[in-house]
Amino acid sequence: MESAAAALREARRVVVFTGAGISAESGVPTFRDDLTGLWARFDPAQLATPEAFHEDPDLVWGWYEWRRARVRRAEPNAGHRATAAIERLIPDTVVITQNVDDLHERAGSRGPVHLHGSLFAPRCVAEPAHPAAFPDADDEPTDPGEGRRIPPPTCVHCGALVRPGVVWFGEALPEAALATAVEAAAACDVLLTIGTSGVVYPAAEVPRVAARSGATVVQVNPQPTPLDDVCGINLRGPAAEVLPALVSRIREAATAGDP
């Protein structure tokens, strides 16, 4: 912990890279864990591919609206809030997340980079794809009920169907988001990787880019992961406990006048 705090105190550029683990601490199920109850009869490929949406848009939209409503009931945890605190303490901090929820934003993070898209940024299926505009898009989602088919809305600009703004199986990551993530990782002094398994590519390459570029990579995770070997510091424990403690160490040193 002291080594991680010292590295952050000396850093000019920081990347905070988060995965499903930090949101799981807020009660947000992982993608596959959301295939429960009435949804358990479906294979992920039936709900998370462009082909699935084309074949049964009502089924796919219904599942994602159900997921979106569940996320809205969750609250940012102490790990999300500590991430926002790191941004305030070290202004040149970039938050990169594999999560499709909005918990970082609600905790106070400014413009996190969403590598896998967002449940709260639906987009039009038209080519070229563009952010969707449709009536009531910004309303609080109501719980549609488990297993319900819901017709997706249509874009008010072009009339095409609106789809969930997440990256599906078989789709590439958003080019701009991936480029931003790689550039930030290559230029940072410290990268914090939090709650990610390190096995989902190409996102899993981000901490490795930082390590190859000479950054100190600090991992926060309760369990060992494939990233252990590239991390200079491994902090075992949940993000909601480890990150606030880390922020406290940084603040204490600043108050004491340490560099």
Cβ atoms of 247 and 218 closer than 8 Å: no
pTM of model > 0.75: yes
Strands 93-97 and 113-114 turn out to be parallel
Residue 13: both structure tokens together:
């550029």
Residue 115: both structure tokens together:
């590598």
Residue ranges and CATH numbers for the domains of the chain are: 2-256 (3.40.50.1220)
Instruction: Please indicate if the annotation marks 231 as binding a ligand.
Output: no
The CA distances from residue 224 to 73, 192, 228, in Å, are 30, 15, 6
**Longest C-alpha distance within the chain, in Å?**
62
Instruction: Please indicate if the annotation marks 223 as binding a ligand.
Output: yes
Strands 117-124 and 162-166 turn out to be antiparallel
Instruction: Please indicate if the annotation marks 196 as binding a ligand.
Output: yes
Q: Give 167's pLDDT tier (boundaries 50, 70, 90).
A: very high
Per residue in 80-100, pLDDT tens? 999 999 999 999 999 999 999
Catalytic site includes residue 130: no
Instruction: Please indicate if the annotation marks 195 as binding a ligand.
Output: yes
Per residue in 3-25, pLDDT tens? 999 999 999 999 999 999 999 99
Length of the chain: 259
Amino acid present at 175: E
pLDDT number for residue 176: 95
* Cross-strand pairs, 113: 96
List 54, 80, 116, 130, catalytic entry: 116
Q: Give 156's pLDDT tier (boundaries 50, 70, 90).
A: confident
Report d(CA 96, CA 195) in Å as an integer. Answer: 12
